[in-house]
Chain A
Amino acid sequence: MLMLMTALSERPREWNYGYELIKETGLSSGTLYPLLMRMTDQGLVESEWREPARPGRPARHAYRLTASGLALVRAQEQVDGRADLKASLA
Chain B
Amino acid sequence: MALAVHCLPAVRREWADAMLVEFEAAREDGKPLSFATGCLAAALRELPKHQEGRFAIASWMLTLTVIVPAAGLLISILAAGSPLPFLNYAEAVVSEANRPAVPSLLLLLFCLATLQLRVAWLTLGSDWESLIPTGAMSAAVALTLSIFTSVVFDAHLLAMLPTTVVALELAALALLAGWHAELPAAAAGSPPNGR
Contact = CB atoms under 8 A, between A and B. Distances in A.
Given A29-B38, A29-B39, A17 B22 contact: yes
B191 A30 contact: no
A60 B192 contact: no
Contact of B46 (A28, A34, A51, A60): A34
Interface in A28-59: 28-34, 36-37, 47, 49, 51, 57-59
Given A18-B22, A29-B39, A33-B38, 9 more contacts: A17-B25, A19-B26, A19-B35, A29-B38, A30-B41, A30-B42, A33-B39, A51-B192, A61-B17
Interface of A: 17-20, 22-23, 28-34, 36-37, 47, 49, 51, 57-61
A31 B191 contact: no
Given A28-B34, A33-B19, A37-B46, A61 B25 contact: no
A49 B18 CA distance: 9
B25 A37 contact: no
A16 to B, nearest CB: 11
A30 B39 contact: yes
B15 interface: yes
Nearest to A23: B29
A19 B191 contact: no
Instruction: Identify which of A19, A22, A47, A51 gathers the most chain B CB atoms within 10 Å of its CB.
Output: A19
**Residues of B contacting A: mostly:** helix
A31 B38 contact: yes
Contacts of B42: 29-34
B54 interface: no
A37 B14 CA distance: 10
Contacts of A34: 42, 45-46
B12 A60 contact: no
A58 B191 contact: yes
A58 B42 CA distance: 23
Contact of A58 (B19, B34, B193): B193
B37 interface: yes
B33 to A, nearest CB: 11
Contacts of B26: 19, 22, 29
Interface in B27-65: 29, 34-42, 45-46
B192 A59 contact: yes
Instruction: Identify which of B21, B34, B40, B46 gathers the most chain A CB atoms within 10 Å of its CB.
Output: B21
Nearest to B37: A30
Given A33-B15, A49-B191, A58 B21 contact: yes
